[in-house]
Amino acid sequence: MKREWVVGVITQPDRPAGRGLRLRPPPVKVVAAELGLEVFQPGSINRPESLQYLRALAPDLLVVAAFGQLLKKTVLELPKRGCINIHASLLPKYRGAAPIQWAIIRGERWSGVTTFLLDEGMDTGPILLQRAVRVGENETAGELEERLARLGAELIVETVEGYLRGEIRPKPQPKEGTLAPKIREEDTRIPWSKTARQIHNLVRGLSPTPGAYTTFRGKRIKVYRTRPSGGEGGAEPGTILGARKKLLVATSEGVLEILVLKPEGKREMRGVDFLNGYRPSPGERFV
């Protein structure tokens, strides 16, 4: 895709960040400035002043990626060729805000990216292109996101060029699909009553952020890396088992080894370091 095709870049406003809460520009703005591209940062893309700006640009096509605002019909109808979006799932599966996290949490073996034409629904528009990738057995959401970001960058260029040349024809999506809503606080607590495999999927689906958590001695502990271990715990789910070289926890089915965790107010540490530092008593549990 040629640089001269880009008539403008629209991104979120600068936000306070860091300890000093200084305004920090979004990465898109930084790159656009380096390339000498015009940048517009509306509080809402649907306001009259935003529509006026878009009409002045007279774009043939809008390309949307993780913009964070819902585009209303008045915006969608402005470009002559519509609006192309890119989504980190194989639509119609996992429509919504957290497709990567939910795909891993639910144990999906395949994920991918989809380019499609935006309509007024939630990720329901006609599909242009898709690329699938195998999800690693221990891959985290952060790791998969990095892979899909690289794949998506290639796919969006291929999509725009092929679509504008008339080589890619939109295909309507099925009405039925699965949802991937925003991760809530209650979604992040580890339910030890589930199986070791289910908890492992939850941990890696929430790693590195927001992180799955449990509690120990009344304090929160974030869990970032786990591994299902062979054998049965033979104890109440959440019970820390007796080994001193591995942090093993009983679940409803199987044993889970905690590899990396972060106690509240402490640094990130290995499971064995937690055992050596906290020295759980026989029968103590994560809850």
| pLDDT tens-place string over residues 37-50 | 999 999 999 999 99
Query: Which residues span the domain enclosing 132?
Result: 42-164
Query: Are residues 213 and 153 located together in one domain of the fold?
Result: no
Distance CA 139, CA 150 (A): 16
The structural domain count of the chain equals: 2
The rounded distance, in Å, linking the Cα atoms of 123 and 172 is: 12
26 within some domain: no
Which two three-digit tokens encode residue 17? 């960040």
Please give the backbone phi and psi of residue 166, each rounded to the nearest 5 degrees, phi first: 80, 15
Q: What pLDDT shows up at residue 1?
A: 61
Residue 199 to residue 212: CA distance in whole angstroms:
9
**pLDDT the model gives residue 130:** 98
Answer yes or no: do 52 and 156 share one domain: yes
Q: Where a domain ends, among 115, 135, 164? A: 164
User: What does residue 109 show for φ and ψ, rounded to 5 degrees?
Assistant: -95, -15
Mean pLDDT by 10 residues, the chain (287 residues): 81 89 92 93 95 94 92 95 97 97 98 97 96 98 98 97 96 96 97 97 98 98 94 87 87 96 97 95 94
CB 189 within 8 A of CB 108: no
146/54 same-domain check: yes
Residue 287 falls inside a structural domain = no
pTM of the model: 0.93
